[in-house]
């Protein structure tokens, strides 16, 4: 039977000590005004203190210990005890066993000690520690401090501004409704701030962290952490380890930290830094600012190749060091690749993209994009979809760039370096800039422009249908011009020449390569050592150079060494050595060097050495249609056995030189040979063994009426110095002081 002690029955007022038996005692220290100490000894005891300070020890057995009022000290002792502090600032200790402890009201200190304890702080600012074992501690209302110690603990702050340490073990921590501070400790912890502006540090090992609502500060610290900021404007640090970070809703500030992190900013205007190593970053929705590495650009802090997706919104993205993959996605994005060989796709809408340093691959995507390749050999593509109004402005920057405007009307600049520029569909404007460039207009009416620089070359591809364009050569190096519709532009195909189209190609100053390909083309060599390719299918016109009227008769314009190739034998092609038709001053301009026109065994070579001009027809040329020689004398023929063809003029190329026309090999048909300002005069042709046939048409030449058809003529070698002897294998037509224009 329980024993009841009443201090009034023992000694009256004052302090007392009560020790129970080894049985189940029921000790109630009621209405005693002094301090009391009660001890239960063995078995299961019930001990209830007074309203003053009590010291209660349960000892062995499953005891129920209650402090009542006052600042009590209660220890459960061995076995499973139930302890209640009630009112007052109590110190409650579960000791050994799986205890249940309730601090009640007041600022209590609760220690679970051994065993798996369940403790409630109650009201007041409590300190709670679970001790060894797997404890569950609930702080209750007010501002509590909770520590899990060893074991896998459940720690809940509940109301108030709580501070919680998970310490050792794999703990589950919840901060409660206000501004909490949570430390994960050494285990694999699950830490949740819940509502309020919380600070959470995952500590060592791999933690899961949820900020919940509020503007939280979340730090994964060490380990491969999962961090979710939840709602609110959060600051998140991944710390060391490969972290997975979700910003959640709100404008978050996220730093991935060391190692390879995956970051999703979620909704809101976020600021994200991947920091060290290779990070995968998705800005989510909102106008985000993203750095693949760190915002101060310090490569010593672990630059690496990052993968960045701006998501939905107007984002600002910096790839940082190394080779990054950057996708602007939806929104008007500003993208900087920084250093490294980056792959950049602007995505939808109007983007501003700069590759900066490195050999970058840039695709503007949909929208009106401004793209700058920067330093390095870049590959740049403007737009993707013709369904959108995608007018791009692209600058290749310094380096050997490949630029494709793709859809819509683009403005493309190669800038410095040897660039290849393709306008693509619609009406584009292409500018090569400094360097050996290739410009390909593509479909529709393209405006193609280049400018003279002190060095560099220029290449032009006019497009399937040409419009107005401006061109200019460079002072040194070859300028390449070719037509349209060619394949392999971005692969290993090194033949950048196309198919059909009526083109006008201008070499300008410098050594140029012009290819008209199919179609009726006009090729202007201008100055320099040029190669002109007329191409098949179409009536081609080849001009030696463009002149300016009114120069003095003693002046000449250097034509340099030029080669004309690939004229079709069944087309009405024309070679003209002057574009100033009908002007009498045309005869005052000379050319220097060599001009060749050829195709698969059908060649025309026209040569001048500034002392004795030469026109050489090589191999089998079935028709040479419309060869013009400008001068003051007609070109006539004599049908006598000794017939010498002379081009008579008042002014020679150098005032005294003599030119020679060579007809070499096979049969030759010369058609429609004409001169400017013809006058009466006869030219002679010498005929001797061995025999070769030359076919001349029966059209009247100038004012003469002499016609020769199928005249057999001797091929003899002509010594230019003597201008008299012939050798086997040639027919010679002599230019006497002739100027070819």
Per residue in 565-587, pLDDT (tens digit) is: 444 444 444 444 433 333 222 22
Q: State CA 112 to chain mean position distance.
A: 59
Rounded Cα–Cα distance for residues 103 and 687 (Å): 133
DSSP label at residue 299? G
Q: Where are the domains of the chain?
A: 601-736
Q: Global pTM?
A: 0.61
What is the per-residue pLDDT across 655-696, written as a single tens digit (0 to 9) for each? 233 333 333 333 333 333 332 322 323 222 332 322 222 333
Rounded Cα–Cα distance for residues 592 and 580 (Å): 18
User: Is the per-residue pLDDT at 512 higher than 80?
Assistant: no
Once rounded to an integer, what is the mean pLDDT over residues 390-405?
Answer: 86
Rounded Cα–Cα distance for residues 316 and 705 (Å): 81
Q: Which of 267, 239, 233, 230 is nearest to 253 (CA)?
A: 233
Listed as own residue / partner, the contacts of 378-384 with beta carbons closer than 8 Å and 24 or more positions apart are 378/402, 379/490, 380/355, 380/404, 381/406, 382/406, 382/407, 382/408, 382/410, 382/412, 382/424, 383/407, 383/408, 383/410
User: Is the per-residue pLDDT at 740 higher than 70?
Assistant: no
State the CB neighbour count (10 A cutoff) for residue 698: 7
Are the C-beta atoms of 621 and 604 separated by less than 8 Å? yes
Please give the pLDDT value at position 525.
59
Q: Which of 549, 548, 471 is nearest to 512 (CA)?
A: 471
Average pLDDT in the chain = 66
User: Is the per-residue pLDDT at 376 higher than 70?
Assistant: yes
CA distances from 499 to 421, 536, 571, 603, 719 (A): 17, 9, 16, 22, 44
Q: What percent of the chain has pLDDT over 90?
A: 31
DSSP label at residue 588? G
Give the best-scoring range by mean pLDDT among 597-611, 647-661, 692-706.
597-611
Please give the pLDDT value at position 434.
78
Helix spans in 447-573 (H):
none
DSSP label at residue 671? E
End-to-end CA distance of the chain: 139
What is the per-residue pLDDT across 690-725, written as a single tens digit (0 to 9) for each? 222 233 333 332 323 323 222 222 222 222 333 322
Are the C-beta atoms of 29 and 49 separated by less than 8 Å? yes
Q: Kind of pairing, strands 226-228 and 325-327?
A: unpaired
Query: % helix / strand / coil in the chain, to the nearest 5?
Result: 0, 35, 65
**CA-atom Rg of the chain in angstroms:** 48
């Amino acid at each position: 039977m329980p024993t009841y002690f009443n201090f009034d029955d023992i000694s009256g007022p004052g302090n007392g000590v009560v020790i129970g038996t080894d049985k189940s005692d029921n000790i109630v220290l009621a209405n005693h005004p002094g301090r009391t100490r009660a001890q239960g000894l063995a078995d299961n005891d019930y001990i209830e203190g007074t309203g003053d300070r009590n010291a209660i020890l349960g000892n062995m057995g499953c005891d129920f210990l209650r402090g009542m009022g006052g600042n009590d000290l209660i220890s459960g002792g061995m076995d499973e005890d139930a302890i209640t502090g009630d009112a007052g600032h109590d110190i409650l200790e579960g000791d050994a066993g799986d205890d249940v402890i309730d601090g009640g009201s007041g600022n209590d200190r609760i220690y679970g000690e051994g065993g798996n304890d369940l403790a409630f702080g109650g009201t007041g600012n409590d300190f709670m520690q679970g001790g060894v074992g797997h404890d569950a501690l609930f702080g209750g209302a007010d501002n509590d401090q909770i520590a899990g110690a060893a074991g896998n603990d459940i720690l809940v702050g509940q109301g108030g501004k709580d501070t919680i340490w998970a310490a050792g073990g794999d703990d589950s921590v919840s901060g409660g409704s206000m501004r909490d501070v949570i430390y994960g400790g050494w285990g694999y912890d699950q830490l949740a701030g819940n509502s309020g502006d919380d600070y959470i540090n995952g500590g060592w090992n791999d933690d899961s962290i949820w900020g919940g609502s509020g503007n939280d500060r979340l730090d994964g610290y060490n380990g491969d952490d999962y961090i979710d900021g939840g709602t609110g404007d959060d600051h998140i640090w991944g710390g060391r380890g490969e972290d997975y970070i979700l910003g959640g809703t709100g404008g978050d500030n996220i730093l991935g930290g060391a190692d390879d992190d995956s970051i999703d900013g979620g909704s809101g205007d976020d600021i994200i830094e991947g920091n060290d190593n290779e990070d995968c970053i998705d800005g989510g929705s909102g106008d985000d600012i993203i750095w693949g590495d760190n915002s101060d650009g310090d490569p010593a802090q672990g630059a690496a190749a990052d993968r960045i997706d701006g998501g939905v919104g107007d984002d600002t993205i910096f790839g940082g060091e190394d080779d990054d993959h950057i996708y602007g996605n939806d929104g008007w994005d500003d993208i900087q690749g920084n250093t490294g060989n980056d792959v950049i796709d602007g995505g939808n809408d109007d983007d501003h993209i700069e590759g900066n340093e490195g050999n970058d691959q840039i695709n503007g995507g949909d929208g009106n994009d401004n793209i700058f390749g920067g330093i390095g050999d870049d590959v740049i593509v403007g737009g993707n979809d013709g369904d959108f109004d995608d007018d791009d402005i692209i600058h290749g920057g310094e380096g050997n760039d490949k630029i494709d405007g793709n859809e819509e009307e683009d403005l493309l600049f190669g800038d410095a370096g040897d660039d290849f520029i393709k306008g693509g569909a619609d009406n584009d404007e292409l500018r090569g800039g400094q360097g050996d460039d290739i410009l390909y207009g593509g479909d529709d009416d393209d405006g193609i422009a280049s400018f003279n620089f002190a060095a560099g070359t220029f290449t032009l591809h006019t497009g399937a249908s040409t419009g107005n364009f401006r061109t200019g050569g460079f002072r040194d190096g070859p300028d390449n011009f070719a037509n349209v519709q060619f394949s392999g532009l971005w692969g290993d195909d090194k033949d950048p020449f196309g198919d059909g189209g009526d083109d006008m190609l201008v070499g300008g100053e410098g050594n140029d390569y012009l290819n008209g390909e199919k179609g009726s083309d006009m090729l202007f060599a201008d100055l320099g050592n040029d190669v002109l390719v007329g191409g098949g299918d179409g009536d081609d016109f080849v001009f030696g150079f463009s002149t300016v009227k009114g120069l003095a008769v003693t002046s000449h314009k250097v034509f340099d060494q030029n080669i004309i190739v690939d004229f079709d034998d069944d087309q009405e092609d024309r070679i003209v050595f002057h574009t100033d038709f009908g002007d009498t001053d045309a005869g005052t301009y000379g050319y220097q060097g060599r001009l060749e026109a050829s195709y698969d065994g059908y060649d025309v070579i026209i040569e001048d050495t500034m002392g004795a001009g030469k026109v050489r027809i090589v191999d089998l040329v079935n028709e040479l249609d419309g060869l013009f020689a400008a001068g003051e004398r007609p070109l006539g023929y004599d049908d006598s056995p000794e017939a010498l063809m002379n081009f008579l003029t008042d002014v020679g190329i150098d005032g005294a030189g003599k030119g020679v026309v060579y007809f070499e090999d096979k049969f030759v048909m010369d058609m429609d040979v004409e001169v400017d300002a013809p006058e009466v005069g006869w030219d002679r042709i010498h005929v001797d063994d061995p025999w070769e046939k030359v076919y001349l048409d029966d059209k009247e030449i100038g004012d003469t009426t002499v016609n020769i058809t199928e005249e057999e003529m001797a091929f003899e070698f002509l010594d230019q110095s003597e201008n008299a002897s012939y050798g086997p294998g040639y027919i010679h037509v002599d230019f006497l002081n002739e100027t070819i224009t």
